[in-house]
Structure 1
Amino acid sequence: MAQTFDLVVVGGGPGGYVAAIRAAQLGMKTALVEREHLGGICLNWGCIPTKALLRSAEIFDHLQHAKSFGLTVEKASFDLDAVVKRSRKVAGQLSRGVQGLLKKNKVTVFDGAGKLAGKETLEVALTKGGSETLKARHIVLATGARARQLPGLESDGRLVWSYKEAMVPETMPKSLLVVGSGAIGIEFASFYRSLGAEVTVVEVLPRVLPVEDEDVSAFAHKQFEKRGIKIRTNAQVKALEKGKDSVTATIETGGKTEKLTVERVIMAVGIVGNTEDLGLEGTKVKVERAHVVVDEWCRTGEPGVYAIGDLVGAPWLAHKASHEGVLCVEKIAGVKGLHPLDVTKIPGCTYCTPQVASVGLTEKAARDAGHEVKVGKFPFIGNGKAIALGDPEGMVKTVFDAKTGELLGAHMIGAEVTELIQGYTIARTMEATELDLMHTVFPHPTLSEMMHEAVLDAYGRAIHF
């Protein structure tokens, strides 16, 4: 006998479990199907455990400069096993927390893999064996994505790592090649460099962190090199030759070829949606470039079937997935006053050293879109709190529409900018103008004062620089 629900979610990541909880809150009888870990890749193998690793690296970095703070630390060292164990413990704690939230909201959880099996029907191959048939008017696919593999450069789990192996190293590699300089690649490059590895980053595009504003990318490039990270842009890894305990990479840069031998390689060249084995064959669900196609309300071409999160494409961010999950089920429930998701109001954060954060259009994208712009910049060195923290390297940049005063974009690099960016995100959401931001009182002494100054600077009114 099939079990009947109002809504079933396939995938328990930050999109799926949030969608399930919101559906239950709205009075729907809800089920969630998860084949591995509640919390998904983000909580178990992505956002959360990597931040735990990076926090350990950040503290270790500070210990190296203890003397500049008037402190004495002798022979600071690290225990790699303990660093990794702490990261896994943090992930485990939060995964159990998600389990508790689902139980609290009376969401029925099935451990297994879900597959469409006809109209309003989902077949679940249970992890413990056997199967369950679920019936629901609404089925939300939230199966996420996995690391993209390049032909001939595939991860093998030993010498060539994906993000999973990079998070649980058994020993600290002395040398490392990171292929790809997006958020994932740069965060791992930062972590391993902080713990002493010789790190080289290869990026096929002309600049590191290529989705960021050009000024931020250029600043980041200099800071990464200052930390000892070697960077190759406009470069491509053509081959990997594996030895007993090392890898020799053939790197082509501007027509010139070089060989680089390292102990380990991390592949961080993007992700592809988990579209396989979902029973999409014979349905009207369209898949393009390894991602499910949806409309502005997360509806696929198949009536009653929806898709959210990394499965449907960029930006590949946990908070975007969560927002889509809420938006999707609220639309199903008939909640009034909804607006389709505007991706230019989604902040992006990279937790390297220094941190990078942004929201909205880059200066180039704004100009390319036809805007006449006013640009403001403010350096960390002009901020009292940044100097007191010992983190005077960084900048805040704002981009305004010169005619309307609309904040088109904001871009930051430096200490704690991943926390600061939300101020500009709220401003974008509230459609704030330059006057709204100018007339906002920012507390002193804080890093947030730079946000105010960067707004003032766009209009020739900066006070402290």
Structure 2
Amino acid sequence: MSPFDLLVIGSGPGGTSAALRGAQLGLKVALVERDPAGMGGTCLRRGCIPAKTWLESARRLEQARDLKEFGILGSEPKALQPDLEAIVARKDRMVLRGAKGIEFLMKQHGVVVLQGSARLLGQGRVALGEDALGAKRIILATGSRPKLLPGLKLDGQRILTSDQLLDLRELPSHLVILGAGAIGVEFASIFARLGSRVTLVEALGSILPAEDADIGRELAKLLARRHPMDIRVGTRMLHAELRDGQVICQLEGAKPGELQASHLLVAVGRTPATEDLGLENTRVRLERGFIRTSPCMETGEPGLCAIGDLVATPMLAHVASAEGILAVSQGAPLDYDRVPSCTYGDPETGCVGPSEAQAREPGLGVLTGSATFLPILKAHIAGEPYGFVKVVADAGDRRILGVHILGPQATELVAIGGALLGKTLEEALNQIYPHPSLCETLPEALRVALSRSLG
């Protein structure tokens, strides 16, 4: 087989975006995927899409049980129960639909799709089974896998990661979730709404510790009140074991003690999938397990780039996609301060730009303004009048640095917040916001921040 202009290893969002962009630029492109199930990577097969499908089923069940509030009468809506077999089947259909969409796009753009485990040989050469491939440029996009804790044995049925939980066909009577980042919070929201008792354990001082502190504090209150669930921050898990069909968890810290649960989800983060890639045959350098790259995603090996979860940038599908396009086009480096982060729980969170604490770190004078969804009639109509919008701005020139949203459709509204970054508070207020809408909360937060700047 003649050499390729571009060889992409991994078919998640980053890899497929890179392959498509290369084809659009007229390059001869090959895309390699080692998963025998097909293309799509973690996001499609074990991450974003399956989790959001579960979330939608949980949301629909919760809404159906509350139909009387919306003027709809029926036979015993409170008696509705989740069917996990059907939820998993629907999840599988969504995954299949996504995979077929990727296959269609690759075929449409003339990308050669190869199945197998690729291994770098150095100097633009890749081994794929018995074959050796050559490429002018190679992009590594193999993603990440769930991080495991030393000494904790997973059985995949009672003690499991998010990979296994997505195929669970038995509703946990009591689910303990270790880790209250985005993954942990989303699954807590899913299973609490489906009817499980949920305990959420986080070693740091708040849930969603990577977000603005106000987001974590208020979200913890809402989760505990709405579902309810047991939230234990500042608490670590010392040990967990299976005993007589139950998971026994030993905790220490702010809320210590022994927990007996039916299931334990380990959601303490993800780690780069760099094993068995042949990195030792290249000049690639690792730092804390991540591949070191230039701002344009180039590694120390000429012609070799790395993107997505392999590098020390936000582990988000949309970041991987943007990095994949950058690695091909070699345009301007990405501005990671403008990357939105989203948690699709109940309620949702959407954040873009630095938190208040991060903005203050360089000694910058900071203005903040917050407004709640409580006065917004569109939020009441939707049955979700809770949460808030928080704006962080530079006290000197009044330019917007960050927008942090907790509440209904926050994962959609954050795109508006991202478009406001860099604008002054006055410029952002010159935009006319529609009524009735959830985004009416934004100008209210902007006005609070502006009033503080004017004394």
TM-score bucket (shorter structure):
over 0.9
What's the CA shift string for 1:287-322, capped at 9, x where partnerless? Answer: 122211111000001111100001113311000000
Q: How does 1:380-395 map to 2 (within 5 A)?
A: 380-395=373-388
Contact 2:122-2:281 within 8 A present in 1 as well: no
The question of 1:344 aligning with 2:337 is answered yes
Match for 2:395 among 402, 406, 409? 402
The question of 1:142 aligning with 2:135 is answered no
Distance 2:279 2:81 in 1: 51
Distance 1:104 1:243 in 2: 53
Alignment-derived partner of residue 12 in structure 1: 11
The question of 1:426 aligning with 2:419 is answered yes
Match for 2:110 among 100, 106, 112? 106
Contact 2:12-2:44 within 8 A present in 1 as well: yes
Alignment-derived partner of residue 55 in structure 2: 54
Contact 2:147-2:271 within 8 A present in 1 as well: yes
Distance 1:120 1:167 in 2: 38
What letter is aligned with 1:54? L
Alignment-derived partner of residue 334 in structure 1: none
Contact 2:120-2:281 within 8 A present in 1 as well: no
Q: How big is the shift at 1:72?
A: 2.3
Deviates more, 1:400-409 or 1:191-200: 400-409
Contact 1:177-1:201 within 8 A present in 2 as well: yes
The question of 1:291 aligning with 2:284 is answered no
Please list every run of 5 or more consecutive structure 2 residues that lacks an aligned counterpart in the other structure: none
What letter is aligned with 1:420? L
Task: Name the SS of the counterpart of 2:55 in structure 1.
Answer: helix
Deviates more, 1:365-374 or 1:93-102: 365-374
Match for 2:372 among 362, 366, 379? 379
Q: How big is the shift at 1:153?
A: 1.8
What letter is aligned with 1:241? E
Alignment-derived partner of residue 451 in structure 2: 460
Q: How big is the shift at 1:49?
A: 1.1
The question of 1:304 aligning with 2:303 is answered yes
Contact 1:53-1:191 within 8 A present in 2 as well: yes
What's the CA shift string for 1:364-423, capped at 9, x where partnerless? Answer: 111112221111111010111111111111100000111122211010111111001001
Distance 2:424 2:332 in 1: 21
The question of 1:66 aligning with 2:67 is answered yes
Task: Name the SS of the counterpart of 1:231 in structure 2.
Answer: strand
Distance 1:106 1:244 in 2: 55
Distance 1:79 1:100 in 2: 32
Q: How does 1:12-411 map to 2 (within 5 A)?
A: 12-36=11-35, 37-73=38-74, 74=76, 75-125=79-129, 131-226=130-225, 227-254=227-254, 257-331=256-330, 338-411=331-404
What letter is aligned with 2:334? L
Contact 1:273-1:313 within 8 A present in 2 as well: no
What's the CA shift string for 1:170-195, capped at 9, x where partnerless? Answer: 21110110000000011111101001
Alignment-derived partner of residue 128 in structure 1: none
What's the CA shift string for 1:108-128, capped at 9, x where partnerless? Answer: 010111111131101112xxx
TM-score (norm 2): 0.96
Deviates more, 1:379-388 or 1:176-185: 379-388
Distance 2:62 2:440 in 1: 26
Task: Name the SS of the counterpart of 2:271 in structure 1.
Answer: strand
Contact 1:249-1:259 within 8 A present in 2 as well: yes
Distance 2:384 2:445 in 1: 18
Q: How big is the shift at 1:154?
A: 3.7
Structure 1: 4+ residue segments shifted above 4 A: none
Task: Name the SS of the counterpart of 2:346 in structure 1.
Answer: coil
What letter is aligned with 2:338? K
Match for 1:435 among 421, 426, 429? 426
Distance 1:138 1:232 in 2: 48
Distance 1:102 1:224 in 2: 42
Q: How big is the shift at 1:343?
A: 1.1
Contact 2:177-2:200 within 8 A present in 1 as well: yes
TM-score (norm 1): 0.94
Contact 2:31-2:111 within 8 A present in 1 as well: yes
What's the CA shift string for 1:155-176, capped at 9, x where partnerless? Answer: 2212111111111112111011
1:315–1:154 Cα change, 3 Å: farther
Contact 1:3-1:133 within 8 A present in 2 as well: no
What letter is aligned with 2:55? L
What letter is aligned with 2:238? K
RMSD, matched Cα: 1.4
Task: Name the SS of the counterpart of 2:277 in structure 1.
Answer: coil
Q: How big is the shift at 1:257?
A: 3.9
Alignment-derived partner of residue 3 in structure 1: 2
Q: How big is the shift at 1:68?
A: 1.7
What letter is aligned with 2:395? A
Distance 1:371 1:154 in 2: 46
What letter is aligned with 1:217? G
What's the CA shift string for 1:249-307, capped at 9, x where partnerless? Answer: 001124x7411010000000011101111111132101122211111000001111100
Q: How big is the shift at 1:341?
A: 1.0
When the two structures are aligned, how many residues end up with a matched partner? 447
Distance 1:210 1:174 in 2: 27
What's the CA shift string for 1:57-112, capped at 9, x where partnerless? Answer: 01111122222222224122221111111111111101110011011110001011
What letter is aligned with 2:124? E
Distance 2:186 2:384 in 1: 18
Task: Name the SS of the counterpart of 2:396 in structure 1.
Answer: coil
